[in-house]
Structure 1
Amino acid sequence: MRRTFKRLLSLAAAVGLVSSAAVAQSELEKIMKERGLTQDDILAAAKTYTPSGGRDKYIVFSSGGQSGQIMVYGVPSMRILKFIGVFTPEPWQGWGYDDDTKKVLKEGWYRGKPITWGDTHHPAISETNGVYDGKWLAINDKANPRIAIIDLKDFVTKQIVVNPVFKSDHGGAFFTPNSEYILEACQYGAPFDNEYHPMEEYADVYRGGVTCWKFDHENGRVIKDESFVIEMPPYMQDLSDAGKEMSYGWGFTNSFNSELYTGGIEKGLPPFEAGMSRNDTDYLHVYNWRKLAELAKDPKNVKVINGIKVIPIEVAVKNDCLFLIPEPKSPHGVDVSPDGRYIVVCGKLDTHATVYDFKKIMEAVKNHDFAGKDPYGIPIIDMKKAMHCQAELGLGPLHNQYGPKWKTEGEIYTSLYVDSQVVKWDYLTCEVKDRVNVNYNIGHLCGMEGKTEDPQGEYIIALNKLAIDRFNPIGPLHPQNHQLIDISGKKMKLLYDMPVPLGEPHQAVAIRASKLHPEVRYPMGTNPFTGKVHEGKTLAGQEKIVRKGNHVYVYGTLVRSHINPEHVTVNKGDIVTFYLTNLERAEDETHGFTVDWYNVHASLEPGKTVAVTFKADREGVFPYYCTEFCSALHLEMMGYLLVKDPNKKYKSVKKIKLKKMSKEQLMKEYKKTVALNEATKKVIQSVVKFLKENHYEKYPVVKQLVEDAMDQFNKVPAEEKKAEEALKKGDIETAINFQYQAWQYLVKTADVGIRAKDLLVRKLATPMSEAAKRGEAAFAEGGCNGCHVIGKVSSGPDLVGVLKRHENGEKWVAEFIKNPASKYNDPYVKAMIDYFNLRMPNQHMSDQEIKDIIEYLKWVDENANLF
């Protein structure tokens, strides 16, 4: 480590930064010593550290396990970015609490029963030509056989489809190379109908299979009527992969329980785990989905069960579309190489990974060279004749991800559950290259696009089932552990442990962030679930309350910082629908909405319209408010739902009023408010002048802020006109309120305008030296900006020009920062203390921080004309 710093010091000396480098060395060595860090720890930290405002190269979508949701995080930072509501309610986003999201969740009701629990397992990103295109995300629910579709334009679930014949689903979702279909494999064999069948009928009536869900890639929806099921024996089908390139049109699904064992531990029989692992091999299912899709179009080739087309085993076999190949015992994954030639399968109870050659499989199919048939008449291809090679990897091999050197070096990575390792090997030669330990009991692996035709390498993530002693103790239930591994060099290096406190995240997929193009706002009044204008779209000035029988419709808007309307009165027993539109155009200005007691919530991103419906079944007064902290006046962004009983007579109660102001006092207050507004307008005008003189329109982000500010400013004249009209009528109180509302808009204008000015200043100012940058950071982190605002008088004096206010100004300011009390009796400082009624506190800045702050203040003075 010391050698590394010596090299850094030599470089620093060459550019005159010896002092800074020495300070950094000393500070870093101190931290390393205190925390027991090694050089490898520091390098790992550097490889994962993403500075504030920085971006990750990859985005990971991880299943949320028993949460029924999806987790999104970045690589290499491993920062969690979002949880996506899928099969279960997600309160922050109002998922399952407003009308439209309830409709999506209702699509997932299972056999008519509301289901609010899910077990998400295998996410998949839509593909074009065998590579991720970043448009759609699909995921399955193992507990209730369902597939969900998430739109990656807004990261919102748009469709849930229930499998009408399966009773569980572990093996989904898997896109075909051009997203024609999503493959969903059944897990536990069960009757396709919904009737009772005893276990004695298992082999005859219970079935497994793969559902091929037809996918509309343009609109991101499953087309149920064009989907079909491939009937298979009840071998407990597991995971799948779609062929690509030379194996395009074929699908591969492994399975366990070739024994067709049915358990019965309560009867004194061996448990499932014993009876299902007796045979030396299980079966890999090989099927031609493309040919079966054509066969499914002919009614003669299908049975319709519970509304979906099912291709019987005998039809698939007759048309040379379904075959079996023995595979390692208790496999848990099948992975097709990027060129589609090789298929890799690992068996949990076998130490080997088996590599099959698609060319050999097709040769056997062409020549009808079979080792026999299973009890259901499906041809079995001889394992040795289909095999390319076997690799001895270790205990408990599970899942695979390919690396970028797959073509020349057969680069592949496999998780070892029992050994708690990731092993790198060559699937062309079956030679092991490297191993790295993980903590603990790894399940899936997530490579960077590692199952596509264009694997990126760089990193791989171990999705570990156990964390045990890795994190602070938090009770008997431990988090899962996702570990980031650097695979860019010859040896794999563990970089980062990320605790995951959201269910058991079973599998994850990663995509280059550059392929994702999410929206930052919706076109005004959009219903995100249809992509069209929402029926409840309401613009400013269109707010209204409409009664139709006992159904009351509230057409409202939300904008910083009020909800319009603010008073809604209904009768007890009425059905109430709030149609709400977020009128904001600025990015990240989300509002939320809830009503006390009624268990509803909605998240309104800019431009979005939502509907919230409930029955007003309780008399009383119920506040509603914005749930997303959106502005300085967030707490004031509220209203009241008043529910009265139409069968009840209410006595008139006199309002308790505060002491009335005289007319003269009211007029004084009115003039004071008008004067405040005029003063605020002058501030805005000065900001506008600066922006125009410096051509703000050249800078898109600044321009957007200015447009947002002008949206607020343009609302002022209408409020002032209302104030003048009220004043003419002698209603001074109302006139004051309208003037004050105008002031609210002016404050919002000034707030956004000043932000725009500050951003423009940054773009126009001379570049900061490294020392000045450190000084600015120290100024902020040291709390200096709590009292001092550059270019403005705040709780303390403006510091523009402070270095020129005293003889030997730099020395004077440095001494004052170091020991403020030493100058409390200085006439200048005493005058400032008396004026601001504050004393400069000692922030205990180091000498280096003080030097850097002086450099920052020099930079301020260089650009004084901009502040």
Structure 2
Amino acid sequence: MKKSQSKFSSMLLGTALVASVASGATNELSKVMKERGLSEIDVIRAAKTYNPTGVKDEYVVFSSGGQSGQVIVYGVPSMRILKYIGVFTPEPWQGYGFDKDSLEVLRQGNIRGREINWGDTHHPALSEIDGKYDGKWLAINDKANPRIAIIDLADFETKQIVPNPVFKSDHGGAFFTPNSEYIIEASQYAAPFDNNYHPIEEYKETYRGGVTMWKFDNKIGRIMPDDSFTIEFPPYHQDLSDAGKGISYGWGFTNSFNTEMYTGGIEVGMPPNEAGMSRNDTDFLHVYNWEKLAKLAENPKNVKIINNHKVVPMDIAVKNNALFLIPEPKSPHGVDVDPTGQYLIVCGKLDTHASVYDFKKIKKLIDNKEYAGKDPYGIPILDMKKSLHGQLELGLGPLHNQYSPVDGEVYTSLYVDSQVVKWNFKDLKVIDKENVHYNIGHLAGMEGKSADPQGDYIIALNKLAIDRFQNVGPLHPQNHQLIDIKGKTMDLLVDMPLPLGEPHQAVAIRASKLHPHVRYKMGTNSKTGKIHKGKTLAGEERIERDGKNVTVYATLVRSHINPERITVNKGDKVTIHMTNLERAQDETHGFTIDNYDIHGSLEPGETTTLEFTADVEGVFPYYCTEFCSALHLEMMGYMMVKDPDKKYVSAQKLKMKTMSPEELKAEYDKTVAVNNATDAVIQSVVKFLKDNKFQDHKVVANLVTDALDQYNKIPEQKKKADEALKAGDTEKAILFENMIWQLMVKTADVGIRAKDTLVRKISTKQSAAAARGEVAFAEGGCNGCHVIGKVSSGPDLTGVLQRHENGEQWVSNFILDPESMYDDPYVKGMIDYFNLKMPNQHMSEEETKDIIEYLKWIEENANLF
């Protein structure tokens, strides 16, 4: 009755809204409603989930991706997908698993030396302080290959994967303890802890279940395997877990099924598992004092070492009063501790009741050593009735629970009935039910498993969609349904198809608790958070060869990749360090090379590495895979792989064979002119070096020696060229002149480095501000367009402070807000000339002041550039 009254009130509100809008000139809303067949309540529900452009969500949800091995991120109430996070599976868009640094993270998940490239993500968990989400880290388990991954919520990237050394499956992870001291991971299907063969007939003797307590460092966001341990359990199939809080702090709770220890055998005429594993009336809830067990595990006498991992045996746990069992409803699928830590709710899939346990009663039984008996492994069993606060019949197939900020209020999913039920676990009364579509599994409240639940919404994670969406073939999407719980009764607002794996469970957090980066500090390795060894700034790009190892130091900035040509030999091991020089938000650059199955995705400031063997001969274009600017298509280059054992016929030689004597002479004259122009550059560098006494500086003198080593080979080649020309062999003369050009380019390269080094030696000393300004200039990617001393992709900045009235202020304004000056006649002329606009690199005012000081230093030493 209450439900129908509430919905009638909503309809009245909707009618009022429609009447108000309809009274306007356009009557647009009424028209849309009529065309689409929408009711007033439809419009109200749509308004509750609609975010106008630029408006952000109140909550962020992290959902497991199931068989995709990923995490899905979306907003509430809009239900808009924001991101997929690669975890146990390569994720091509972000280059996860396709560049060296992310591949190292993915390979942490190898098991027994085998590469595992898929996962079945199940239960995400948010790090906690005082039982409340702190927004720093997300942990998630892999059921198929027992592993835990850690995702950094500063950039939503996976930073660590830790395989479980003793489990063979894992459904019962991941769950943080209230101050993120540990992450709980429970095995699912009992199996031997070692990696040896054990016949199924030895199931009770050699197969085991357990819970691993992974020690977690909340400051750095990493699991510490050496400080972790596993609690040995009987070979019951453990399921989900939860950590106590408040008065139950220090305790953990893990439920189970198959306390019958049945092992099936259809192939030998035995009843199937589903029959043998469900014949008992109850299963067991494991209750363990992890705080006490952690201290016990520090003593080698209390542990077994299995696969280099500490295991606390059952008898040690029992002897120290740290492990107990309580009967629970048949085939349970979760245990959920309430915000106070006093009450635990367990629902059995094969029972219509929810069972509410009272930790105060449990603790009293433990303290009084009041046991109802022991299991076959000697673990004390507490009396179920004496442990219970009470039971309530909810419906068919109760599964999972999410708490409300209202004292005693909880929401439970009913799998068979396809409903969410709202009830009071203290008063043991049903309050409301809402139908969902269809067969709900987990449900996600807004911080609904923390010590500070927010209420507002519940999300039903439904296993079946059936007829909810457009038919896309036999494989249907999953259906997440958003339910408004702010009123007295629940109201289902919207469906969201999720076409990626089987999202199993989700956790939600207030968006205000998340503080992710918008860019990295220049040169950051995003997987370690430290400065990357391959950090490269503009002007530092280079290609280094060491035998068959070729290392490329490259930069990416709108709209070029530097270098634009890379030539290697077939069989070379190629390492490319790439740095995204952008500082502007959302200016990601990607990088791939045709045929080599590699991809890097670099956010602003990030450095990453690609490694591969150039085992295929040919010409391979590379390009930026993110559409980053109007000149995106021009942001490319070529990798050329040649076979060192192969003799190539020069295309130029072939061309010359078809040329007339007059054409050959013109080609010769052009080649000589290019060489003369190059030599003029070399001579200007030589004059600078001599005028400024390069020999007084050893490092410069060494570079000059290297340059001369190349330059001194030119006379011999020139003599051969002249002799060939005199003999009438113009074709050969051209080839020798080409050799001269190559020697000149090598000379000029070393000579210019010598000049740059000498400038540093003889220029006036930089002030601290100028030195900081030079760093900001480089890390801001300014070098990508501006080369001091010459015009490049942008104007030379030597003397820029003198070009404008109030030059320092003008340049400062332009750095801080270039967009506002695009229509300035001078700036517009530069844009038209260079066909580029100065991007906003989001420099701070302090950085801008330092850059001005750096430009002043350049002016002081203008004669040197």
CA deviation vs aligned residue, 1:39-92 (integer Å, no higher than 9, x gap) = 111111000000111100000000000000000000000000000000010000
Q: Does 1:28 align with 2:116?
A: no
**1:365 alignment partner, SS class:** helix
Counterpart residue number, 2:213: 212
| 1:615 maps onto 2:613 in alignment | yes
Contact between 1:67 and 1:120, CA under 8 Å: does it hold in 2? Answer: yes
Are residue 425 (structure 1) and residue 423 (structure 2) matched?
A: yes
1:600 aligns with 2:602: no
- C-alpha displacement of 1:753: 11
Does the CA-based 8 Å contact 1:715-1:742 persist in structure 2?
no
The aligned residue for residue 494 of structure 2 is: 496
Cα 1:147–1:722 change in 2 (3 A) is closer
Against the structure 1 CA distance between its residues 325 and 9, is the aligned structure 2 distance closer, same or farther, given a 3 Å change threshold?
Answer: closer
Residue 33 of structure 1 deviates from its aligned partner by: 1.8
Structure 1 residues 721 and 464, CA gap change in structure 2 (3 angstroms) = closer
Show structure 1 runs of 4+ deviating over 4 A: 1-10, 655-663, 707-717, 720-724, 741-746, 750-754
- Check 1:146–1:744 CA distance in 2 against 1; reply closer, same or farther (3 A cut): farther
Partner of 2:49: 48
Equivalent residues of 1:8, 1:21 under 8 A apart? no
Residue 642 of structure 2 corresponds to residue 644 of structure 1: yes
Asked if 1:192 corresponds to 2:193, the answer is: yes
Deviation at 1:396, TM superposition (A): 0.2
1:467-478 residue pairs with structure 2 within 5 A?
A: 467-478=465-476
Give the distance between the partners of 2:635 and 2:548, measured in 1 at CA.
28
Report if the CA contact (8 A) 2:786-2:795 is conserved.
Answer: no
- Which residue of structure 2 lines up, in the alignment, with residue 524 of structure 1? 522
The letter for the 1-side match of 2:790 is A
Selected match of 1:564 from 562, 565, 590: 562
Q: Distance in 1 between matches of 2:453 and 2:85?
A: 25
Aligned position for 2:62: 61
Could you tell me which amino acid in structure 1 is paired with residue 64 of structure 2?
S
CA contact (8 A) 2:15 2:40 kept: no
1:371: how far off?
0.5
Note closer, same or farther for the CA distance 1:562–1:375 as it changes in structure 2 (3 Å cut). Answer: same
Give the CA deviation at 1:749.
2.4
Counterpart of 1:124 in structure 2 is 125
Report the Cα distance in structure 2 between the residues aligned to 1:605 and 1:188, rounded to whole angstroms: 41
The alpha-carbon deviation at position 747 of structure 1 amounts to: 3.6
Give CA deviations for 1:717-754 in whole Å, capped at 9, x if unaligned: 63259999xxxxxxxxxxxxxxxx98689443257699
Matches within 5 A, 1:682-831: 714=786, 718-719=790-791, 746-749=834-837
Residue type of the alignment partner of 2:151: I
Aligned to 2:163: 162
Structure 2 gap ranges (5+)? 1-9, 671-775, 797-828, 843-865
In structure 2, the CA distance between the partners of 1:723 and 1:105, relative to structure 1 (3 Å rule), is closer
Q: What does residue 253 of structure 1 align with?
A: 254
Listed as ranges, the gaps of 5+ residues in structure 1 are 13-17, 664-703, 725-740, 755-867
CA distance in 1, matches of 2:313, 2:208: 11
Cα deviations by residue, 1:101-127 (Å, 9 ceiling, x for unpaired):
111111100111000110000000000
Q: Is the 8 A contact 1:585 1:708 kept in 2?
A: yes
SS at match of 2:791: helix
CA contact (8 A) 2:785 2:792 kept: no
2:541 equivalent among 524, 543, 552: 543
Counterpart residue number, 1:434 = 432
1:429 deviates by 1.3
Q: Tell me which residue corresponds to 2:674.
A: none
Which residue number in structure 1 is paired with residue 801 of structure 2? Answer: none
Query: Which residue in the other structure is 1:678 paired with?
Result: none
* DSSP 3-state at the match of 1:640: strand
Partner of 2:395: 394
Query: SS of the counterpart of 1:361?
Result: helix
Could you report, residue by residue, the CA deviation over 1:527-583 in whole angstroms, capped at 9, with x for unpaired residues? 112211101000000000001121100000000000000111010000000000000
| Amino acid aligned to 1:531 | G
TM-score normalised per structure 1: 0.76
Question: What is the identity, as a one-letter code, of the residue corresponding to 2:291?
Answer: R
Deviation of 1:220 (Å): 0.5
> Which of 574, 580, 584 is the equivalent residue of 1:582?
580
Provide the rounded CA distance (Å) in 2 between the counterparts of 1:373 and 1:160.
37
* Structure 2 match to 1:778: none
Paired residues of 1:58 and 1:76 also in contact (CA < 8 A): yes
Work out the CA distance in 1 between the residues paired with 2:337 and 2:508. 17
Give CA deviations for 1:178-218 in whole Å, capped at 9, x if unaligned.
Answer: 00000000000000011111111001100000000000110
Q: Distance in 1 between matches of 2:263 and 2:83?
A: 41
Aligned to 2:349: 348
Distance of aligned partners of 1:501 and 1:526 in 2 relative to their CA distance in 1, 3 Å threshold: same
User: Structure 1 residues 106, 324: CA separation in 2 closer, same or farther (over 3 Å shift)?
Assistant: same
Aligned partner letter, 2:29: L
Letter in 2 for 1:286: V
> What residue identity is the alignment partner of 2:357?
Y
Which residue in the other structure is 2:316 paired with? 315
Q: What is the CA-CA distance between 1:23 and the residue it aligns to?
A: 3.5
Q: Structure 1 counterpart of 2:271, which letter?
A: P
Q: Which residue of structure 2 lines up, in the alignment, with residue 509 of structure 1?
A: 507
Q: Is the 8 A contact 1:126 1:135 kept in 2?
A: yes
Percent of aligned pairs with the same amino acid: 69
Residues 1:190 and 1:627: Cα distance change in structure 2 (over 3 Å): same
- Alpha carbons 1:543, 1:556 under 8 Å: kept: yes
- CA deviation map 1:466-519 (0-9, x unaligned): 000000000000000000000000010000100000100000000000000000
Question: What is the CA deviation profile of residues 671-725 of structure 1, one whole-angstrom value per residue up to 9, with x for unaligned ones?
Answer: xxxxxxxxxxxxxxxxxxxxxxxxxxxxxxxxx9xx989877745963259999x
Answer whether contact 1:579 1:611 (CA < 8 A) is retained: yes
Taking the aligned partners of 1:3 and 1:168, their CA distance within structure 2 comes to 53
CA distance in 1, matches of 2:559, 2:833: 9
| Aligned-partner Cα distance in 2 for 1:721–1:520 | 27
Structure 1 residues 565, 297: closer, same or farther in 2, change over 3 A? Answer: same
Q: Deviations over 1:746-782 (max 9, x none)?
A: 443257699xxxxxxxxxxxxxxxxxxxxxxxxxxxx
Give the SS at the match of 1:22: coil
Residues 432, 489 of structure 2: 8 Å contact kept: yes
Residue 204 of structure 2 is aligned to residue 203 of structure 1: yes
Cα distance change, pair 622–9 in 1 and its aligned pair in 2 (3 A) = closer
CA RMSD of aligned residues (A): 2.7
Cα separation, 2, equivalents of 1:433 and 1:55: 32
1:367 matched to 2:368? The reply is: yes
TM-score (norm 2): 0.77
AA aligned to 1:466 is L
Amino acid at match of 2:270: L
Question: 8 Å contact 1:709–1:752 — kept in the other structure?
Answer: no
Other-structure match for 1:134:
135
Q: In 1, are the aligned partners of 2:324 and 2:379 still within 8 Å (CA)? A: yes
The one-letter amino acid paired with 1:463 is L
* Separation (CA, whole Å) in 1 of partners of 2:841 and 2:526: 31
Aligned pair count? 688
1:421/1:564 CA distance change after superposition, 3 Å: same
Q: Secondary structure at the match of 1:59?
A: strand
Does the 8 Å contact 2:18/2:40 carry over to 1? no
Aligned to 1:291, the other structure's residue is in SS state helix
Query: Cα gap change, 1:486/1:708 in structure 2, threshold over 3 Å: closer, same or farther?
Result: same
Does the aligned pair in 2 maintain the 1:708–1:752 contact within 8 Å?
no
* Preserved contact between residue 712 and residue 748 of structure 1 (Cα < 8 Å): no
1:290 to 2:291 alignment: yes
**Residue deviations 1:404-423, cap 9 Å, x none?**
10x2xx11000000000000
Q: What amino acid does structure 2 have at the position aligned with 1:278?
A: R
The 1-side partners of 2:298 and 2:321 are apart by 17
SS of residue paired to 2:361 = helix
1:711, 1:745 → 2: CA distance? 18
> Contact between 1:69 and 1:85, CA under 8 Å: does it hold in 2?
yes
Query: How far, CA to CA, are the matches of 2:11 and 2:336 in structure 1?
Result: 45
Aligned residue identity for 1:413: Y
CA–CA separation in structure 2 for the residues paired with 1:745 and 1:60? 48
Alpha-carbon separation, structure 1, partners of 2:488 and 2:837: 57
